[in-house]
Amino acid sequence: MEYNFRKIEADWQKYWAENQTFKAENPTLSGVEGNSIKPKYYVLDMFPYPSGAGLHVGHPLGYIASDIYARYKRHKGFNVLHPQGYDSFGLPAEQYAIQTGQHPAITTEANIKTYRKQLDQIGFSFDWSREVRTSDPNYYKWTQWIFIQLFNSWYNKESDKAEDISTLISIFSSEGNSKVKAACDHDIERFTAEEWKNFSEEKQQKILLQYRLTFLSETEVNWCPGLGTVLANDEIVNGVSERGGHQVIRKKMMQWSMRITAYAQRLLDGLAKIDWPQSLKDSQTYWIGRSEGAMVNFQILSPALSEGKGAKYMTGGNNSHILLEKAKEMRANPTQAEAILWEQIKSKKLGSKFRQQHLIEDFIADFVCLSKKLIIEVDGEIHESQVEKDAERTSILEDKGYKVIRFKNEEVIGDLESVLEKINYELSNVPLSLGEGLGERISVFTTRPDTIFGVSFMTLAPEHDLVPKITTPEQKAEVEAYIKSTAKRSELERMADVKTISGVFTGAYAEHPFTGKQLPIWIGDYVLAGYGTGAVMSVPCGDQRDYVFAKHFNLEIPNIFEGVDISEEAYADKENSVIANSDFLNGLPYKKAMKRIIFEIEQQGFGYGKVNYRLRDAVFSRQRYWGEPFPVYYKNGLPQMIDPQYLPIVLPEVEKYLPTEDGKPPLGNATVWSWDTNTNKIVSNDLMDHKTVFPLELNTMPGWAGSSSYFNRYMDVNNPNEFVSKEAVEYWQDVDLYIGGSEHATGHLLYSRFWQKFLFDKGVVPVDEYAKKLINQGMILGTSAFVYRWEFKKGKDSEFAKKTIFVSKSVMDRIIKERSAIEHTEKQLLEQDHINLLSACEVKNTIENEWSNFTPIHVDVSFVNTHDELDVEAFRNWREEYKNAVFIGESGEIISSTHSKGDGVELDKKALSFGENLGGDKYIVGREVEKMSKSKYNVVNPDQICEEYGADSLRMFEMFLGPLEQAKPWKTSGISGVLSFLKKLWKLYVVEGKFYVSDETPTKEEYKVLHKTIKKVEEDIESFSFNTSVSTFMIAVNELTALKCNKRSILEPLAVILEPYAPHISEELWKNLGHTTSISTVDFPLFEAKYLVESSKEYPVSFNGKMRFKVELPLGLSAKEIEDVVMAHEKTKEQLQGRTPKKVIIVPGKIVNIVG
């Protein structure tokens, strides 16, 4: 009775499928289906994208680990949920559709079939009744549903959670928006409740869009022309697309975004309560990028003033309280004309911000637009008698660089339209030379406000909005040239070239808020437009980048640190810094200085303490076909959600999967893609009438949409009415163990945490972190094989050089090393009859000149056996160009050569069998560990392994390779070890060719082996140390074999503890032991410590820490007794040679160490 794994595995896979052995019990109103109410355990794998290439041996690694754990938990009495599905929307199927016209759904379906077959072969205990596919309308219906929930929500910072948009609307209509603390777009206009109610429906919707958790906005995105789509940051690697390596450029587009930034702090805080790998938490922490500091505003100074007598504020500033009071009063009591005009120009209605009754020096201007330096005066009766005074006032203001225009009261009241026209004209015609932007401020974010007295200049990103406004005429040409040159430099170049310092002076100055000192404003590309405000206060003594910039451009480097030398580099160590030369901060250490300066900044009103995040809102639109359609149509250009009762909105059919000619996404090709609000159905575009039929959204959702909450759907996968029922989610709660790759650290694993928190806020799920424990399985690397082509540069034209010659690994090494080896090979070459076409002279010259030039060429690992020998014929037949290649084997002999057709081949075969070399010479390939990939021909397929060694061998071997989380190379040769282990195990249950176990009582030794194994395996599984438990099984089987153990009381529990690892053989053994049900739910055998109690211990005796010999001593001896026995031992005397030991250390039960 042999161990026939092929039959056993096929039989049991069939049995499991037919009996639904691994179906998780469902909760019902009364508890749990089935007979027992068991505690739940949820083991989840990251579901795969079903690619056309199928699985290689690296893919199932994590699945095997989670399967072992799931099976173990079933033995431990848990109701285990262990589902699997497919992340089946994605680019490859779409690319294939573009190339071949085959619908991605067909490609996907075929790939899933292959995957399923491959997965089934490995014997996973998945509950396939809960399978999900993200591309299945019944599944993406709920992805669309979640999108609608996000759209209908806003983030209330006060309650620190997402709330229904209706609560926001009611706040707006009761008190306007000035008091609302929400995560929203910045620069939202302020309005009162009254104003809100008077806004048009359209305007209200536009405002709400700025608050929703998913929103439409013009965003600068990573546009990839090669793929015709937008990419997320994590889809870009080194400035090119992760898939295909296409160029990526920045482009502004109308896009759906997810307001993940609202959850930045909670995503950070949540990390503390989940057991995820530290490195992954670190990645997320860095990605969210919280930094504490302050926003500080720096006033920009007039270039004219700063050249001369010293700086002054252009607005506000030095004005007396009396004037400020007066301005306030005038603002409160506008004239009729002023009120009418204000209504038209306030809130940026003309595109520029105006201030009312604003102080300019010692004048109160009626209306002023600071950025355009335009003053509007409305002359009422008060001014009529003061024409002269007004003229003087105008001339002073014009001196300051303002343009002053005046209107009479009657003009404003009578002909408002032409007044506005005139203002508009002036706004659009402000000459640059006037020094636009005066009175503007530069806002900067800094994490080191404590170093503010060390600021010696400001630096703006070249793309900063203020740059064109503040640049002086003299600097204009230089600045524009610089902006042009940096814009041209691609992201990639900028990254590769961090060292080059570049920048340009704008000619403008800012004022230091504390010292009043003038700070030159520079632009430099080391300041990034996308982070913070795109501007920095430069503190060269405290920041290395500012330091090198200052050095390079010869800017001042004031030192504000106590006792620190900054002549070589900046001092960035904040923890140990003590501030000096900084007025009220002098002598303060970092933390105290921070507190004090933020207090001062807030007191004086030019800034505030702020927490900044690096995390950006996530763009959610993709210009692709094969993704979830949005449940959105557009009415008057505004997005409308489709009522959830009409979901799913099913992906339409299209002629072509490419973008349309006019640049619309692929869905633009669909002819039936409009929404009829009458019938609530998708209808043909021809019916579009703008009354009841509207265009549907043409973008689709990104790859991560479908994977962001799939783990919740598994809990209640076939529920047509709810995403997940209350009772299902209350029972299953969350994932207990999640296994998958670390490459999703800042993508899927962050987005899904975000959605979970949102669904938690909405009361859909009961916990706000969905996975208690996560393990990243390491990658299995391929072992590539190489042949070495011996190349001749100089003798290129010779017959010899035209031949393709491959030398075996060590021959190459020898040739490179020793001259004599070459000569031998040379001789061989010459002696061989069929190389007589080359002259001795040729060979000699070639070898002498170019003897060490070898090119490694990847060879398919399937042509190589476990001894690294190449199947030369298979390799020859692989590629036409290698047909006639010459192979030089390990000993330097030519293996064979099919140099000519017909007879030649025959001759070669003869030579192989009867020649001197008799097939003794082998071609040995070179080996190198690389990532497993098709292009490297090092992919090993699990199907082949299952066929040759069996699924149980594959499972055990993958675990045996090394620690789960570590990357490790695959070497098929090792698998024979686990196969012979399984055969050996099988033999324990077989006597004289028949299955037989005896019912005798086991011996002490046999019990000891069993319980030692139970203990170790249990500990190993609990600590996910699967590789060591495979060794443990091997030791157990070796020991039981040595004991000739054939007893049921040992072999039955052994089969149970092995089941998680090798389920097929365990089931078969279990059946043969006389059981009629599956082994999978049998209780895990109980470890009993009594079997491991020892009566004696073999003490290692060390001298000065080095083990010399061992003594067997009964346990329970006291230290003194041990010492007496050991000291009396003759080997001790031998070691000591009569010396008296200085000290004797006895650790009872462990070790004896004698110090001499």
Cβ–Cβ under 8 Å, residues 1018 and 1033: no
Using the structure block, give the residue that is written with the tokens 């225009």. Answer: 405
Options 71, 373, 512, 968; binder of RNA; rule CB under 7 A: 968
Q: Identify which of residues 347 and 973 has a Cβ nearer to RNA in the complex.
A: 973
Chain Cα centroid distance, residue 934 = 24
Options 368, 527, 693, 1113; binder of RNA; rule CB under 7 A: 527
Take residue 564 and report the two structure tokens written for it: 């620190």
Asked if 4 is part of the footprint of RNA (rule: CB under 7 A), the reply reads no
Of 812, 799, 899, 806, the residue nearest 840 (C-alpha): 799
Q: Which helix (H) or strand (E) holds 640?
A: strand 638-641
- Least Cβ distance, residue 887 to RNA (angstroms): 20
- Least Cβ distance, residue 405 to RNA (angstroms): 38
Q: Identify which of residues 126 and 1099 has a Cβ nearer to RNA in the complex.
A: 1099
Options 51, 114, 205, 291; binder of RNA; rule CB under 7 A: 291
- Least Cβ distance, residue 1143 to RNA (angstroms): 6
Q: What is the dihedral of CA 1126, 1131, 1134, 1140, to 10 degrees?
A: -10
Asked if 1038 is part of the footprint of RNA (rule: CB under 7 A), the reply reads yes
Beta strands 674-676 and 681-683: pairing type? Answer: antiparallel
- Least Cβ distance, residue 917 to RNA (angstroms): 18
- Least Cβ distance, residue 322 to RNA (angstroms): 39
- Least Cβ distance, residue 1042 to RNA (angstroms): 7
- Three-state DSSP class for 775? strand
Q: Identify which of residues 781 and 1082 has a Cβ nearer to RNA in the complex.
A: 781
Task: Pick out residues in 655-694 that bind RNA (CB under 7 A).
Answer: none
Options 468, 915, 962, 1141; binder of RNA; rule CB under 7 A: 962
Options 980, 998, 1077, 1081; binder of RNA; rule CB under 7 A: 980
Q: Could you say which DSSP state residue 700 is in? A: B
- Least Cβ distance, residue 187 to RNA (angstroms): 19
Asked if 918 is part of the footprint of RNA (rule: CB under 7 A), the reply reads no
Asked if 966 is part of the footprint of RNA (rule: CB under 7 A), the reply reads yes
- Three-state DSSP class for 540? coil
Task: Pick out residues in 452-471 that bind RNA (CB under 7 A).
Answer: 461
Using the structure block, give the residue that is written with the tokens 């069993």. Answer: 1010
Angle at 992 between CA 988 and CA 998, to 5 degrees: 55
Asked if 961 is part of the footprint of RNA (rule: CB under 7 A), the reply reads yes
Give the range of 7-15, 413-421, 763-771, 1097-1105 binding RNA by CB under 7 A.
Answer: 1097-1105
Take residue 380 and report the two structure tokens written for it: 């009422």
Asked if 247 is part of the footprint of RNA (rule: CB under 7 A), the reply reads no
- Least Cβ distance, residue 1154 to RNA (angstroms): 8
Options 742, 862, 891, 941; binder of RNA; rule CB under 7 A: 742
- Least Cβ distance, residue 143 to RNA (angstroms): 25
Q: Which residues contact 41 (CB under 8 A, 6 or more apart)?
A: 70, 73, 78, 79, 80, 81, 736, 737
Angle at 763 between CA 758 and CA 769, to 5 degrees: 50
Give the range of 297-305, 679-687, 936-944, 1029-1037 binding RNA by CB under 7 A.
Answer: 1029-1037
Q: Count the neighbouring beta carbons within 10 Å of the beta carbon of residue 949.
A: 19
| # binding residues, RNA (CB under 7 A) | 86
Options 416, 672, 967, 1111; binder of RNA; rule CB under 7 A: 967
- Least Cβ distance, residue 1142 to RNA (angstroms): 8
Asked if 978 is part of the footprint of RNA (rule: CB under 7 A), the reply reads yes
Using the structure block, give the residue that is written with the tokens 């491991």. Answer: 1092
Task: Pick out residues in 1098-1127 that bind RNA (CB under 7 A).
Answer: 1098, 1100, 1102, 1104-1108, 1110
Task: Pick out residues in 179-238 that bind RNA (CB under 7 A).
Answer: 233-234, 237
Asked if 1091 is part of the footprint of RNA (rule: CB under 7 A), the reply reads no
- Three-state DSSP class for 1107? strand
Task: Pick out residues in 613-632 that bind RNA (CB under 7 A).
Answer: 614
Q: Which residues contact 746 (CB under 8 A, 6 or more apart)?
A: 234, 283, 284, 287
- Least Cβ distance, residue 459 to RNA (angstroms): 8
Beta strands 735-740 and 40-45: pairing type? Answer: parallel
Measured in degrees and rounded to the nearest 5, phi and psi for residue 483 equal: -60, -45
Measured in degrees and rounded to the nearest 5, phi and psi for residue 737 equal: -140, 125
**What is the x/- site pattern for RNA, positions 130-159, by CB under 7 A?**
------------------------------
Type of residue at 577: S
Angle at 1054 between CA 1050 and CA 1057, to 5 degrees: 145
- Three-state DSSP class for 391? helix
Task: Pick out residues in 557-616 that bind RNA (CB under 7 A).
Answer: 612, 614
Round to whole Å and give the CA distance between 288 and 282. Answer: 10
Q: What is the dihedral of CA 206, 207, 208, 212, to 10 degrees?
A: 90
- Least Cβ distance, residue 1121 to RNA (angstroms): 18
Give the range of 113-121, 183-191, 739-747, 1052-1060 binding RNA by CB under 7 A.
Answer: 739-747
Take residue 523 and report the two structure tokens written for it: 């632009």
Q: Identify which of residues 85 and 778 has a Cβ nearer to RNA in the complex.
A: 778
Task: Pick out residues in 479-498 that bind RNA (CB under 7 A).
Answer: 494-495, 497-498
Q: Which residues contact 783 (CB under 8 A, 6 or more apart)?
A: 861, 927, 928, 929, 938, 969, 970, 971
Round to whole Å and give the CA distance between 710 and 724. Answer: 10
Round to whole Å and give the CA distance between 123 and 956. Answer: 12
Task: Pick out residues in 842-871 that bind RNA (CB under 7 A).
Answer: 866-867
Asked if 526 is part of the footprint of RNA (rule: CB under 7 A), the reply reads yes
Q: Identify which of residues 279 and 853 has a Cβ nearer to RNA in the complex.
A: 279
- Least Cβ distance, residue 499 to RNA (angstroms): 8
β partners of residue 1111: 1099
Cβ–Cβ under 8 Å, residues 281 and 255: no
Q: Could you say which DSSP state residue 463 is in? A: T
Asked if 445 is part of the footprint of RNA (rule: CB under 7 A), the reply reads yes
Give the range of 249-257, 434-442, 446-454, 698-706 binding RNA by CB under 7 A.
Answer: 446-454
Q: Which residues contact 1150 (CB under 8 A, 6 or more apart)?
A: none
Cβ–Cβ under 8 Å, residues 520 and 571: no
Asked if 293 is part of the footprint of RNA (rule: CB under 7 A), the reply reads yes
Asked if 1031 is part of the footprint of RNA (rule: CB under 7 A), the reply reads yes
Give the range of 160-168, 327-335, 514-522, 959-967 binding RNA by CB under 7 A.
Answer: 959-967
Asked if 1025 is part of the footprint of RNA (rule: CB under 7 A), the reply reads yes
Angle at 577 between CA 571 and CA 583, to 5 degrees: 105
Q: Identify which of residues 118 and 533 has a Cβ nearer to RNA in the complex.
A: 533
Q: Identify which of residues 570 and 632 has a Cβ nearer to RNA in the complex.
A: 570
Round to whole Å and give the CA distance between 582 and 594. Answer: 13
**What is the x/- site pattern for RNA, positions 865-904, by CB under 7 A?**
-xx-------------------------------------
Q: Identify which of residues 528 and 840 has a Cβ nearer to RNA in the complex.
A: 528
Give the HSE-up count for residue 714: Cα atoms under 13 Å, Cβ half-sphere: 30
- Least Cβ distance, residue 490 to RNA (angstroms): 12
Cβ–Cβ under 8 Å, residues 142 and 150: no
Instruction: Give 3-state DSSP helix, strand, coil % of the chain, rounded to 5.
Output: 40, 20, 40
Q: Identify which of residues 391 and 1155 has a Cβ nearer to RNA in the complex.
A: 1155
Task: Pick out residues in 533-552 that bind RNA (CB under 7 A).
Answer: 534, 536-537, 543, 545
Task: Pick out residues in 264-283 that bind RNA (CB under 7 A).
Answer: 278-279, 282-283
Give the range of 159-167, 366-374, 388-396, 956-964 binding RNA by CB under 7 A.
Answer: 956-964
Round to whole Å and give the CA distance between 436 and 623. Answer: 40
